[in-house]
Chains A and B, each alone.
Chain A
């Protein structure tokens, strides 16, 4: 047996992507170390707010203002009071520079953003994989739907995705558990949309990584809508609920929290990575781990950042930069357009349970022969609900008995939704180390230079107009829509910066997410995206990772890498 710092594979990152890499590689017989820069979070045990009632939160979800230095106690209370797993762009130990406004939301802990994600899970289609080639934009994806479809099947079955088979070409059906129910307002809206647009547009129940049937070690969704506190039932997919237990079960996984990867170690004679160097975030000590393959799954921007820090003696811009595309083509979904309205005629209807899912309107623009003055498209996510007890607009009621009576009964039915728009890859939307600023551990910090451009701005006009039109044709009242502006990063769907492609001269990764410049290094998270289809990206991270892991294990066996 090799020494304790040598493994078959190193996985950098423990979020949705890293968890899948660890599961797949260990299940194929490899000994794996998964490195996570943040603290550990243990499934169920560390979900300390998950079973608290509203009144057990001292500040009832609000936040106290006391001086942190003076009031440590309050600070701790505050951490418990608000969302347990913070996804935040404010991380004092890990600063970054916004050349233009960019919210870099991160979650540094075991499980990464898998603990706090929105769980919406949609396949890409060939409309997406062919888009760059057909539009003559950027470079072609090196894969097509048929290449990834079996891997979508595979990850959906294991992760547990609930949804309806809607038969839409632009949003392929998958291996779904039974869908969650729509509510009265949503059911009627879906029917009106279907008839008004003659089937060209659809409103469907969200496809979500909340299970509606039990899976091994996991209970079906209990409709508590407290996913962001961590689920004691393991009902939603996370590293902790799903991939980590599977990887641990093999006996071949080592998980190392507080491990900040400083670089991938590259052997220029063998043209391969030999391992990685880390700093222990707590002790500041440096360690080296060796392996035959490295999976970079640190989240889009951090994965590329690791590459940019590596092999700089050979390539000044880092490992994988020979094409000149590493760090470029940063994308996100552009958000900030929303619409709301009230639904009349449902006073005798209510709902039971708290559904942590909503409806989805898949893309319909620039498909089936339509051509707008922009390319690509957008989708909408939202939900109908009957306004709750007290937290609705109270201005219209006076105080006293009448107010109490009104507020103990439910209010109006309403509906709201927001748009998610595709953003094109632009070479000059990029990340770089041009800051001269070091973080707490002496690491280079990033400058992020990213903006939406004319295509997105043009698309946003349709996003707003269409959103209002949908609600109006559904007969909703008091319809109001607004464009509050798009700040890139706000979608938390950042992709690109190490794109896949067909040509080493114009891309960073090949069709197997394998680095052109080092064949035993794989980047399988959002960094690898060649374009940013408007569907939520995480399911595709999972499928690409499982596919690449299978390829890597087989190449390793054949001694090709």
Chain B
């Protein structure tokens, strides 16, 4: 069904692709040896991820899926240089701006003040490029018809969602996952609160 899905679903579901997804298809090959992140960066990304997707009753937060390590791995392996720069600079900006504004570091702060700080960034990224939350450009910015650079928070948010909901804890605890369903029922009752399938 893959090619058929591309036909029928692509226009209405994602609204675009995740940064890095086109890398191979477009023949990008990069020479990547730089160590882009520190151990503290990983902790910071864990907490940013956990602010975007915090634990709620019935679901653990993104940190439980080692979201920081996942983001670092993806940025290191799957991003173009220009995208890496946007991501790394953005992370530094979050660190500095948060401290300047809150007189303590992001890591020291509580969830409420972290959320209060990141929510405006989320609004900013939504305005920054059409198809936000999607990306997928060849130039590391916006969609193919848009020259504006993609917002660093779009990248962080995308990777958090991708990494968490495809992780074991995300797929099996935050969502429902059955490896071998054994049957298809096209029309069954649903009541509010039932978890979504991890794969559909």
Contacts and interface: CB of A to CB of B under 8 A. Distances in A.
A416 B186 contact: no
B103 interface: no
Contact of B11 (A82, A482, A492): A482
A67 B29 contact: yes
A223 B184 contact: yes
- Chain A interface main SS type: loop
A381 B9 CA distance: 11
Contacts of A67: 29-32
B82 to A, nearest CB: 12
Interface centre among B5, B186, B197 (most CB of A within 10 A): B186
A392 B12 CA distance: 9
A222 B180 contact: yes
A513 to B, nearest CB: 27
Nearest to B6: A418
Contacts of A118: 1-4
Nearest to B29: A67
Nearest to B79: A65
A390 B170 CA distance: 10
A118 B4 CA distance: 7
Contacts of A405: 56
Interface in A333-376: 335, 338-342, 347-358
A2 interface: no
Contacts of A358: 1, 4, 8
Contact of A414 (B2, B13, B54): B13
Interface in A366-412: 381-383, 385-395, 398-401, 403-405, 407-411
A393 B161 CA distance: 12
B199 A63 contact: no
Given A395-B15, A404-B56, A404-B174, A352 B185 contact: yes
Interface stretch (B70-78, B85-93, B94-102): B70-78
Interface residues of B, number: 85
B114 to A, nearest CB: 9
B167 A381 contact: no
A68 B29 CA distance: 7
B39 interface: no
B187 interface: yes
Interface of B: 1-5, 7-15, 18, 20-25, 28-32, 51-56, 58-59, 61, 73-74, 77-80, 115, 118-119, 122-123, 126, 131-133, 157, 161-168, 171, 174-175, 177, 179-200
Given A181-B184, A222-B182, A388-B199, 16 more contacts: A53-B168, A54-B198, A64-B78, A65-B23, A66-B30, A68-B29, A70-B31, A119-B1, A352-B183, A352-B188, A393-B15, A403-B53, A404-B54, A408-B56, A408-B174, A410-B200
29 contacts: A53-B179, A63-B20, A63-B78, A64-B77, A65-B23, A65-B77, A78-B24, A181-B187, A184-B186, A187-B187, A335-B7, A338-B8, A340-B12, A347-B190, A351-B185, A351-B187, A352-B183, A353-B182, A353-B184, A383-B5, A398-B123, A399-B118, A401-B54, A403-B52, A404-B53, A404-B54, A404-B61, A407-B174, A408-B58
Interface of A: 51, 53-55, 57-68, 70, 74, 78, 82-83, 116, 118-120, 180-184, 186-187, 222-225, 227-228, 335, 338-342, 347-358, 381-383, 385-395, 398-401, 403-405, 407-411, 414, 416-418, 478, 480, 482, 492
